[in-house]
Amino acid sequence: MFRRFVSFVLPTIALGLTGCGVDATEAELAQGSEQVATTEQALHSFVLNAVNLNFFAPPRTKGDGEFGGNGPRMDVRIELLRLNNNTELWAEMSIIAQERDGNDDGDTRAEGTRRYHIFTAPTWIESVTPVGAMEGFTFTPFTYGFLDTGHGLNAYQFPQLVPASRLVWQLSCVGDTKGDEAGSKTGCEAILHDLAITYY
């Protein structure tokens, strides 16, 4: 009777220890029991706090480099990517800054994408939260657009929802300035909400 009880309890203890950094393979198993979990088989979690995506000024792709008080219209997209056999987590920021000249788009435009390396796991990244809905290996991107109306910094905050589903906590952008700015001063930076990364 006692042998059966030990046989049942020890694998359960081994499961609990793997989350505490103790290698379950070092625990001696009772005769006749099976090893339920090992460090290699267990899921591990790591939390990244307030990840900062540094200021990115996309290159000028059209026009003279001066928005001249005509906007620009700023459209920002930020999403997470799993790369390198799903062991690396990256953030990708895409920005389009388009001059608004009356009812038509003006000539000046800045557009580009930058990737930021966030985390490398020793094995396959299983999930990342919070990022909203996730289908397969694609995360739901954060998108935000606004029309710049001055020469100052445009700052926006996006408090976390319940349940947590927002990727971006703070977005700060520069649109028009005094003088030329497209391709040099026009751009954005962001701070992400805390990310909980789970990997095998």
| 116-153 pLDDT, tens digit each | 999 999 999 988 888 654 445 557 899 999 999 999 99
- pLDDT tops 90 at residue 5: no
Q: pTM score > 0.95 for this model?
A: no
Look at strands 138-139 and 134-135 and give their pairing.
antiparallel
The chain-wide mean pLDDT, for the chain, equals 79
The stretch 13-27 carries a mean pLDDT of 33
The stretch 37-43 carries a mean pLDDT of 52
- pLDDT tops 50 at residue 179: yes
Show Cβ contacts of residue 200 under 8 Å, excluding neighbours closer than 6 positions: 40, 41, 42, 43, 44, 123, 124, 126
Neighbour count for residue 161 (Cβ, 10 Å): 11
Residue tagged 């990737």 (tokens): 115
Task: Identify any residues that bridge with 48 across adjacent strands, giving them in sequence order.
Answer: 195
